[in-house]
Amino acid sequence: MLSQPLISICGERAHRCRECTRVLVLGARRFGPYPVRRKPNIAVITSGALLVGALILVRFGTRDLPRIPLRDGGEVRVIQVRYTPGPSDSIDHNIDAPKFRWWMYRLLPSSIRQRVGEPTLGIGNQASDRPVLSVWWAHFDSTTHKPMLGEAGDVLMTTDSGEQTNLGWPDPAEDYRQIFVTDPPTNSKRLIFEFPVWGEPVRFSISNPAYRR
């Protein structure tokens, strides 16, 4: 507040000239030492951050994953590859459990969490207290072009040096299967996975995210 009465442009006291008072008040609001600042809308900022994060993941988080044709006209598709260098929960390795959104969600105040709701938990339930590489794949039917849970066998993993490890039977979840590699090798740039689907051999390789020079 001003300690002295406002003097209008026309020489009268401000309360005696409405027009001059309006001009002076507008000027005080614009150039005064205490500008009024609106508090940011946390919900809007949060939604914007989530949208930007989602766009970043769509633009830069996707990669060309293997697709292996089968004799019956169907194919095996690798759906997702995830690596965690330390302890992880199932959300880190589930399908359709967006890691960035969960990270953002856990940073929000509880009042905002109730408004936006928690992200999807996705498909899967495996976690570990050690480094893990997980590879999700599915057998897509030739007619419906949808994933179907069919027969599968043990997974054989081969490194650049030719060392082989039997990872056992890939665990199913809904219509998908997960290859779960605890303490994946760090000295191989690529990893080859081989397993049968309805008796037909399937083979593909991926860049090893655990590789360390």
* 130 CB-side CA count, 13 A: 6
What are φ and ψ of residue 69, in 5° steps?
-70, 145
Give the model confidence (pLDDT) of 182-211 as tens digits.
999 999 999 999 999 999 999 999 999 999
Residue-wise pLDDT for 131-188, tens only, equals 999 999 999 999 999 999 989 999 999 999 999 999 999 999 999 999 999 999 999 9
Q: Provide the angle, in degrees to the nearest 10, between the axes of the packed helices 99-107 and 42-60.
A: 160
Confidence of residue 61 (pLDDT cuts 50, 70, 90): very low
- Separation CA 127–CA 94 (nearest Å): 9
- 84-127: pLDDT as tens digits: 999 998 889 999 888 788 888 888 888 888 888 888 889 999 99
Is the per-residue pLDDT at 50 higher than 80? no
- What value does the mean pLDDT of the chain take? 80
Residue 41 pLDDT class (50, 70, 90 cuts): low
Residue 110 is predicted with a pLDDT of 86
pLDDT of residue 48: 56
Query: According to the 3-state scheme, what is the secondary structure of the chain?
Result: CCCCCCECCCCCEHHHCHHHHHHHHHHHHHHCCCCCCCCCCHHHHHHHHHHHHHHHHHHHCCCCCCEEECCCCCEEEEEEEEEECCCECHHHHCECCCHHHHHHHHHCCHHHHHHHCCCCCCECCCCECCCEEEEEEEEECCCCCCEECCCECCEEEECCCCCEEEEECCEEECCEEEEEEECCCCCCCEEEEEEEECCEEEEEEEECCCCCC
Please tell me the distance from the alpha carbon of residue 158 to that of residue 188, in angstroms, as a whole number.
9
C-beta separation of 93 from 134 below 8 A = yes
- Write down the pLDDT at residue 83: 97
Euclidean distance between CA atoms 102 and 93, whole angstroms:
12
% of the chain surpassing 90 pLDDT:
54
Q: Going from the N-terminus, what domains does the chain have, and what CATH number goes with each?
A: 1-37 (no CATH), 42-207 (2.60.40)
pLDDT at 25: 44
Beta bridge partners of 158: 164, 192
